[in-house]
Amino acid sequence: MPLPPDVSSALRYSSTVTKGRGRGIVFATGMTTEIGSIAAALRGGNSKRRPVKRKADGTAKPHRYVQAWGLTATDFVGRFLGVNVGTPLQRKLSKLALLLLGIAVVCALIVLGANKFSNNTEVIVYAVATGLSMIPASLIVVLTITMAAGTKRMIKRNVVVRSLDSLEALGGVTDICSDKTGTLTQGKMVVKKPWIPSKGTYSVGTSDNPINPTQGDLSISEIEPRKESESEKQDSAGSPFEELLKDNDDLEQFLTIAALANLATVHNTEGEWKARGDPTDIAIQVFAARFNWNRSRWSSNADDAIWKQRAEYPFDSTIKKMSVVFESDDKSMVFTKGAVERIFESCSTIILPSGETELSEDIQSQILENMEALATQGLRVLALASKQLPGPIDELKVPERSTIECDLVFRGLVGL
């Protein structure tokens, strides 16, 4: 099915869909895709001949051909002299060599001119010696020793240097702005510190596979994140998930929100754990799966699913939260997940050890302190909330978002 290349609804090859759902039709593959055209352009980029700049209709004026030929000749000379190939340091050294060559020629001419351009052998030897004296013979040795010293210093910081050229590139860096280590190196996130106000702070141990819910110990501490000492922040002895779930309705509610206010899926295929969706959603879904509480257990397309989805209010960058409405046994629930400050705006109560309490400004400030305590550990923090609707909703007439995301019950924080 051929489509115009500028169609706005076309999804480019190698694109990653992290949110939402849809169905598409493949109309181009391989080298006929946009990535294919880029690959073809890069393959043609090895040509040493400068292309002629043409108009949109493919024509070009005569001076464009002259310009292309001139640039091609300039590139050839530059490659021959080494001023436009190699690393920046190599190019600078090539330019320095040309400069020194010019100075040497000038010095030789001065010596010959002072001797009236005599062809005496001694005069010629002296002129050549004067020119050669301009060449820094030890420069290469000094550079090599400097590079080796830099390599040794980086080895002391557990950095493996495979190429000395990389030191040159690193030396030109002034600032490095990076995401959290796990996201930067693997593109994956892991839930490390969930906090439920009525229960305490749960901790997830380290694991080799971030999407494997069976790896990593689970433990709980009744201490809030803002009150934890450095020793208490470390991974403690784990507990079986059955023990943590026993008579723990608040944890069940927390896990239900984590599993259902979530578009990611985590499943085990032939002994290998696989996940699909946004990295943040995957991390939260994996945490729910640690308790065998993942979405696939409670909600599916089957008629006998325990929870049936009735509405979805997707994440929006301006609202910074998402909500879903599920029904189970004639009970309608709203599950919301998002930025802590935005969840505050939609909550009126919170579940504490003493029971459901009004979400006052003092309690909000304490929650923000807990959020900051998790953030200081390098974690991204989200909040979870829920509420029960007075009755079922009509799927054909979904209520406004403002009427759904109000008077919620604050359930806790998730540190990823």
What residues act catalytically? 179
- Write out the two tokens for 42: 């890069």
8 A C-beta contact, residue 189 and residue 280: yes
* The length of the chain, given as a count of residues: 416
Which residue, 238, 400, 235, is CA-closest to 334? Answer: 400
At a CB cut-off of 8 Å and minimum separation 6, what does 298 contact? 256, 259, 260, 305, 306, 307
3-state SS, residue 169: helix
Phi, psi values for residue 87, rounded to 5°: -75, 165
- Write out the two tokens for 278: 């946004």
- Any idea what the Cα angle at residue 354 is, between residues 348 and 355, rounded to 5°? 45
Q: How far is CA 63 from the centre of its chain?
A: 46
DSSP assignment, residue 50? P
The residues pairing with 324 across neighbouring beta strands, listed in sequence order, are 312, 335
- Write out the two tokens for 410: 């604050």
DSSP assignment, residue 229? -
What is the rounded (10 degree) CA torsion for 204, 206, 209, 212?
-20
Which residue, 339, 335, 353, is CA-closest to 250? Answer: 353
Q: CA-to-CA distance for 102 and 134, rounded, in angstroms? A: 10
3-state SS, residue 131: helix
3-state SS, residue 77: helix
Q: CA-to-CA distance for 264 and 281, rounded, in angstroms? A: 5
8 A C-beta contact, residue 337 and residue 383: yes
